[in-house]
Amino acid sequence: MTELIKSLKAEHANIVKTLLDVKELGIATNEGHKKLLAAKAGLLAHLEKEDQQLYPELLKLAEEDEIVRDALEFFQEDMVDVSKLALNFFTKYQDDSSNQGFSDDFANLTHLLLQRIQKEESVIYKMYEQI
């Protein structure tokens, strides 16, 4: 496994753990709010790292490999939806200490993020490892 993939997988685990800490601590607590902001920062840094280091290499491969091209198109469309939901969630609860709707929104976000992580690690990261 390449160092990049190890690092990205570790970031996935950290993002999930931080979000679970938010749920456990509660959004209304000072510590929970700090964890929420940390989760947002971690997710944004992770996405930037993928955009700078992972996807450019895969896009080069996609120029010659239709399977890779199709997979990247699917993942790009999926990521737009996941990113939009995540950013809306973080914006909504960034300054809102109320728990109204938090539980449902949190469950939806974590479900989508966990699905996305599983797909990335089982498909995209494996493609990258073959380069």
Tell me the pTM.
0.89
- The residue with tokens 């895969």 is 58
As a whole number of angstroms, the distance between CA 130 and CA 40 comes to 30
pLDDT tens string, the chain, 131 residues long: the values are: 899 999 999 999 999 999 999 989 988 889 998 999 999 999 999 999 999 999 999 999 999 999 999 999 999 988 999 999 999 999 888 876 666 788 899 999 999 999 999 999 999 999 999 88
What is the predicted pLDDT for the residue at 28? 83
As a whole number of angstroms, the distance between CA 89 and CA 68 comes to 31
In the three-class reduction of DSSP (H, G, I as helix; E, B as strand; rest coil), residue 130 is classed as coil
CA-based end-to-end distance of the chain:
12
